Structure 1
Amino acid sequence: MRTIDKILEEIKEVIAKVDEEEIKKIVSVFKKEIRIFVDGEGRSGFQAKGFAMRLMHIGYNSYVMGETITPALKKSDIYVAISGSGKTKNTLSNAKAAKDIGLTVIGITSKKDSPLAKISNFVLEVPGKTKNDTGVASIQLLSSLFDQSVHIVLDDLCLLLSKKDNLSDSEVLKNHVNVE
């Protein structure tokens, strides 16, 4: 079997374990008038940035924590924290602060019993192997399986949001950068 085929099998195994009902609940709380803040460190941070970009493309007000243009959080906002272990120091600290302000916190983690999951209003468990533990077994290094699976799950969430909002490719293209 080719290595890439094994990677695809691993991703399918993880995705099959993601709770579709939890995704639907999360879709139901996203509204165009609500600002969405995303957070994560390392490769989880890259997934968060990609998610924020796609949310912007489909017309949502999204911000990445730590960027110079990120505004102050308000109680009516949504906070999406991505951490494979569910205990990444900065991500967890920021999520706790957001929760204290009154934001709805969505935790995306491979550990349903992690500190991040415990403080989250919604938990999206993506049980791919992370750098310090097991999860779904993987031939890949560190948290690659978690990162890849999170990317697909977040693309699914955005697709569901775009369908809810009746968006077409041509409408979404209007929000895509036009100077490249």
Structure 2
Amino acid sequence: MITFADLVDSALGDLRAALGSIQDEQLATLRAMILDAPRVFLAGKGRSGLVMRGFGMRLMHLGLHAYVVDDVTTPGIGADDLLLIGSGSGRTPSLVRYAEIATAQGAPIALFTIADQSPVRDYAALTIRIPAHSPKLADGGGVSTTLPMGSLFESALNLLLDLVTVQLMDEMNVEEPEMYARHANLE
């Protein structure tokens, strides 16, 4: 049986490989899109959706106006707002529909995905591809992994968005205590 330490080493190597192709220029563009948008909307389904929700929380902690699509208090998207979509396949029907609506309203889209081509990618102004394995894609999608199912994409996406949060903190000159002051207190 493989040891836990071996699994940790393997998973960390897989994360490095999956995130290694992301370019600083892509992330600079993403950060500019986030900071230029009056409001940021986040969408994803399944585990990818949970990661996007977590990033929405961090954007709120930064003092930005962030909304998770499908929450009952989320307003309608408008021109110049930003839609961030996390979707390994880029083919989830509801996410394709969100991309269509955002485009019709004049809101740009940034997509985090595994897929080289997809319906959501056709709408995206920025696509950040995380070449991770997925059983949903015919070619497997990219980096093979010890992790099950789409876990490498979801884990890499989570880490990527945490690192983007650190970069935003630096650009916005926001310290952790200021973020914590916005943390939920009805717990």
TM-score interval, smaller chain: over 0.9
Distance in 2, Cα, partners of 1:129 & 1:6: 14
2:124 to 111, 114, 120: 120
Matched, 1:151 2:158: yes
- Give the C-alpha shift of residue 32 in structure 1: 7.0
The unaligned stretches of length 5 or more in structure 1 are: none
- Shift of the alpha carbon at 1:77? 0.6
Counterpart of 1:97, as a letter, is I
- Which residue identity is paired with 2:166? L
Count the aligned residue pairs. Answer: 180
> How far, CA to CA, are the matches of 2:94 and 2:101 in structure 1?
11
Question: In structure 2, what is the equivalent of residue 64 of structure 1?
Answer: 68
Q: Deviations over 1:65-105 (max 9, x none)?
A: 11110111111210011110111111111111111111011
Q: Percent identity?
A: 27
**Is 1:112–1:123's contact at 8 Å kept on the other side of the alignment?**
no
Runs (5+) with no aligned partner, structure 2: none
CA contact (8 A) 1:131 1:141 kept: no
Residue 86, structure 1, aligned to residue 93, structure 2: no
Query: What is residue 24 of structure 2 aligned with on the other side?
Result: 20
Give TM-score scaled by structure 1 length.
Answer: 0.94
What's the TM-score, normalizing by structure 2?
A: 0.91
Cα distance in 2 for partners of 1:46, 1:179 equals 20
Distance 1:77 1:50 in 2: 19
Give RMSD over aligned pairs.
Answer: 1.4
Question: CA contact under 8 A between 2:37 and 2:81: conserved in structure 1?
Answer: no
CA contact under 8 A between 2:37 and 2:80: conserved in structure 1?
no
Match of 1:106 among 87, 105, 110: 110
Q: Is the 1:32–1:59 contact (alpha carbons within 8 Å) kept by the matching residues of 2?
A: no
- Does residue 139 of structure 1 match 2:146? yes
Q: Match of 1:169?
A: 176
What SS does the aligned partner of 1:30 have?
Answer: helix
Alpha-carbon distance between aligned partners in 1 of 2:64 and 2:133, rounded to the nearest angstrom:
30
Q: Which amino acid aligns with 1:92?
A: V
| 2:147 is equivalent to residue 130 of structure 1 | no
Report the alpha carbon displacement of residue 163 of structure 1 after superposing the two structures with TM. Answer: 0.7
CA contact (8 A) 1:129 1:146 kept: yes
Report runs of 4+ in structure 1 exceeding 3 Å deviation: none
- Distance (whole Å) between structure 2 residues aligned to residue 136 and residue 32 of structure 1: 33
Displacement of 1:177: 1.7
Offset, 1:33: 6.2
Q: Which residue of 1 aligns with 2:49?
A: 45
